[in-house]
Amino acid sequence: KCEIYIFKIKKKNYINKKKKNIFLYKKKKKKIKNSGFTLAEILIYMSILAILFTVVLNGYNKKREQQDFAIQKRNISQFIRKIQQYSQHNRKEYVLDFRISENMAYFIDNENGKEIVIDKMSISENISYMTNNKDKNKDFRRRTTKEGNFEKGFSVYLFNKKGNKIYNRVSTNTI
C-alpha cells in the first residue's frame, strides 16, 4: 500500500509517497492588472486632443489676424497724420505716395524738382488693400495743401488675404 500525505507549503503541494518525494506546483490563474490603456482608448484620447487643439489654434489665429489689422490701420493712420502735421507746421506741400504693388507708402518732399523721400512705411503683405479710386488696386499719390489737408480725399480698405472680408478702412477727407 502506498500512503499519501499532502502538506501545503506556501504555494506548492507536497506529496509524500513512501520512497518517492514528488513536488507538484499549484498553478493558479493570475489576474492581470489593467494598468495600461487599450489602443482604442489611446486613439480616442488623441482624437479629442486634436479637436481641442484645432479649436484653440483657430481662435488664436483669428485673434492674431484681427490684431494685425488693428496694428496696420493704426500705422497707416499715423503715417498719414504725420504728413499732414509736417505740412501744416512747415506751411509746405508734401506728397503721400501709396504703392500697393510694392507694399510701401512714401512721404515725399518735392524740392527744386527733385523728389526726396522723408520717410517710408512698409505695409503688411498678409493683408490685401483696395482704394476708392477708379482702379481699386492701383498705386496712388496725394498732395497736401499748405494747411495740412490733402487736395483730394481717399480711403484705403484693409481686407483679409483672400480679399473677401473688409476689416478696416482708413479715410481722409478734404476740408
Tell me the average pLDDT of the chain: 80
Q: Output the pLDDT for position 54.
A: 95
Largest separation between any pair of C-alpha atoms in the chain: 135
C-alpha R_g of the chain: 40
Question: Which residue would you say has higher pLDDT here, 18 or 148?
Answer: 148
Q: Output the pLDDT for position 58.
A: 92
Question: Which residue would you say has higher pLDDT here, 171 or 15?
Answer: 171
Q: Output the pLDDT for position 123.
A: 86
Q: Is the pLDDT of residue 11 over 50?
A: no
Q: Output the pLDDT for position 46.
A: 95
In whole angstroms, what is the distance from residue 144 CA to residue 151 CA? 6
The three grid cell numbers given for residue 95, joined into one nine-digit string: 506728397
